[in-house]
Every structure is written in C-alpha cells, then in structure tokens.
Amino acid sequence: MDLLVSQNTLTTEYVIHGAPLSLFTRKLEAAFDFYGAAYRQARKGTRDGSELEARAGSHQIPILLTPENWALADTTPILGVMDERYPRRRMIPTGLPGLLVHVVEEILDEWVARVMVHYRWHYPENIRDVLATGFGVDLGLEEAVKHPVAHWGPRACRATGTELVEHQQAAENEYIAVLEALETQLGETPYALGGRPCAVDCMLLGGLRAHTNRDPIPDLSRFTGVLDWNAQPGSAWDGEGAPALFPDSTPFAQFVLALGRDHYAPFLLGNARALAKGRKAFIIDTYGTPCSYLARPYPEQSRQMIFDRIRHGLNADERAQAKAWLQDTGLAECFWPPEL
C-alpha cells in the first residue's frame, strides 16, 4: 500500500459527486479504479447551488470529496493530488514523461471531447436515450428534441465549433480516426501510451463509458480491441508495467500530438487572443473552413497548468529537452511558457 494512503488520516472512502453520463465523471472513476482507491459515487447535477459547489469553487462535475473533507474540482489537478497519495500508480508521471502525458491528455480533454457533445446533442436517437436513462423521461424522437434539457446541447455545440453540418462530419471523422489509432495501438501495448495506464487512458475510457460506447450513435462495433479494453476493470491492473519513454512515446501519442498541432493549436491560440482583447467569440479556419467559437476562460487556465509543470516540475536540462520537443511537435507556441 502506498505510504500516504496507509496513514491514519485517510481512513474513509472518497466520494465522487457526478453523473454516469458525464465524461469527466467517468474519467475520474477510471483513474480511481487504476489507483485502487476505495470510492463511492454520489449523483450531482450542475449548478445545483450546493454547499459542495461553494467549497470546490465550481459548479462543474465531478467534485471529489476526500477523506479529510476537502472538496476538489477539475479532474487534471485532482489526479495530481491522487498521484502524490498513490506514487507507484501515478496517472501523470514525473519529469518529461509527465509533460508528454499532460499535453496528450490536454488535447483529448479540450478538443476531442467536444465531438462527444456533438454526437449526444445532434442526434435525436441519442437525445431520446439520454432523457430516458438519465432523467427518466420516455419520449418519441420528435418530442425528445423539444425537451428543455435538449436545448442546452446545441448551445454547447455552437460554442465549441460543431454547429455546422460540415464541421460535424469533420469532427466525427476525426474521432473515428482517433479510435482507429487507438485500436492499432492496443494491438501493440496494453494501454494507449505503453505498458501501464495514465491520464490519457482515463480520458479515453471516460469518453467511451459516458458517451460513445453507451449512446446509440456512433456504432463502434468494429473496434473490437477498443471495446475489449474498455470492458476490462481498472482494478485488474497490478501496478506494474513501463510507460513509453519521452519523447517518442507511442504511435497513438504521436497521432494525438499531430491532431493537436493541426487543429487544437489554432483554436487554443485564437481563444487566447480573443480573451486578451475582451472578445466574446472568434473565428478561425477548422478543417479548412471558417468556424466560430465562444471565447472561454478554461482552455487558457488549463494550458497554464502545463506552463506550471514546465516551470516547476522540470530541471534546467529537462526544460531544454521539453522546449526542443515542443518545437519539433509544432506545439511550442501553445505550451511553452512565454517568459522562458
């Protein structure tokens, strides 16, 4: 048992306040399964005005309640806390391998995840299923798309660049390409980035379990390797195995990094410029055509976490290697701290 977890201060379970249809709730649950940490699930909606939200400083889900009665929000920093408690089962390694994991996870969290929002709220079959299983409302297709809950989805899609049909199709093609790359990778290694799980696996599993492998659309039946991997309990991992080494990692990681360079980087930099100018929205080319996005603070806050990892988690030699790697991947403008 890891040292911190065996101390008397941690004697009760963790509670993950979230929802089974939430990608980030299922991401955190996947991580806890890999940690081997005892936890229970508690149902929580967004913006419920609870004391828990006030303590966590967020209305987003999930919120983690720790054995010390801390209320924590945002899955990536939560994993940082848990990694210190389960150091032999870290989801984000230390040093340069951790930077690689963090960047790949960031692209999946902030770019690929938006495709799942599109799938859920642009297909009537998915809307009907979500209303039935998540809210206990049984409606036909025409009635389902008119339900008040369904009104949130198109707004979210409009904000994240999947409002137009051509962008929806391109986003779907992108997600299927991610699964194809993962299918190939899982034929070579047990996890996406090598011989042991990491935050990237948690993110991928969260998406499958909350969205694309439970909603009627898309049909993932041809991805047999991915589906078998998804079905394996995280508790089956024995804590052994080596991660892929920095900087090469795995072909899957290289695929996601290239996707980030070509598509996420223009969005992230456009979002940063819009925020700096006080604009509420911005337009950039995505998949070759102009696309409108809502300017949102969180992507900028999220990349600041990567800046901080480089500033405080690497020594001088590692920072030099990190800069060269980010330049080689075409992601230096996004993720290299401007003052270094």
Choice between 9 and 237, residue whose per-residue pLDDT is larger: 237
Do 260 and 274 belong together in one domain? yes
Domain termination residue (choose one: 89, 112, 136) = 89
How high is the pLDDT of residue 45? 67
pLDDT of 8 over the 60 cut: no
Do 22 and 114 belong together in one domain? no
Average pLDDT over residues 314-337: 98
How high is the pLDDT of residue 11? 45
pLDDT of 5 over the 60 cut: no
The model's pLDDT over 187-197, given as tens digits with 9 standing for 90+, comes to 999 999 999 99
Residue 14 belongs to a domain? yes
pLDDT band of residue 327 (cuts 50, 70, 90) is very high
Q: Hey, is 190 helix, strand or coil?
A: coil
How high is the pLDDT of residue 293? 97
pLDDT of 181 over the 50 cut: yes
C-alpha 137, offset from chain centre: 28
Instruction: Report CA-CA distances (Å) from 221 to 43, 50, 172, 208, 329.
Output: 30, 40, 16, 12, 33
What whole-number distance in Å separates Cα of residue 265 and Cα of residue 271?
Answer: 10
Token readout for 64 is: 């983690």
Please give the DSSP secondary-structure letter assigned to residue 216: S
Residue 340 belongs to a domain? no
CB 46 within 8 A of CB 60: yes
Instruction: Supply the mean pLDDT for the chain.
Output: 93
> What count of other Cβ atoms lies within 10 Å of the Cβ of residue 279?
13
The model's pLDDT over 57-85, given as tens digits with 9 standing for 90+, comes to 888 889 999 999 999 999 999 999 999 99
Instruction: Work out how many domains the chain is built from and give that number.
Output: 2
What whole-number distance in Å separates Cα of residue 282 and Cα of residue 240?
Answer: 45
How high is the pLDDT of residue 7? 37
pLDDT of 6 over the 70 cut: no
Least confident of 106-115, 128-137, 219-228, 313-322: 128-137
Domain termination residue (choose one: 30, 62, 89) = 89
CB 282 within 8 A of CB 273: yes
Residue 251 belongs to a domain? yes
Least confident of 111-115, 169-173, 229-233, 239-243: 239-243
The model's pLDDT over 11-25, given as tens digits with 9 standing for 90+, comes to 478 999 999 999 999
pLDDT of 34 over the 50 cut: yes
What whole-number distance in Å separates Cα of residue 302 and Cα of residue 67?
Answer: 26
Residue 121 belongs to a domain? yes
pTM over 0.85: yes
Laid out side by side, the sheet with 39-43 consists of 39-43, 14-18, 63-65, 71-73
Do 115 and 60 belong together in one domain? no
Do 60 and 159 belong together in one domain? no
> What count of other Cβ atoms lies within 10 Å of the Cβ of residue 123?
19
Do 309 and 238 belong together in one domain? yes
Do 214 and 330 belong together in one domain? yes
Do 82 and 163 belong together in one domain? no
Q: Looking at residue 7, which CATH number applies to its domain?
A: 3.40.30.10
Q: Tell me the residue range of the domain where 190 lies.
A: 95-335
What whole-number distance in Å separates Cα of residue 171 and Cα of residue 187?
Answer: 25
> What count of other Cβ atoms lies within 10 Å of the Cβ of residue 233?
8
Do 78 and 124 belong together in one domain? no
CB 249 within 8 A of CB 194: yes
Please give the DSSP secondary-structure letter assigned to residue 75: H
Domain termination residue (choose one: 48, 65, 89) = 89
pLDDT band of residue 49 (cuts 50, 70, 90) is low
Share of the chain above pLDDT 70, in %: 95
How high is the pLDDT of residue 277? 97
The model's pLDDT over 255-314, given as tens digits with 9 standing for 90+, comes to 999 999 999 999 999 999 999 999 999 999 999 999 999 999 999 999 999 999 999 999
Do 295 and 327 belong together in one domain? yes
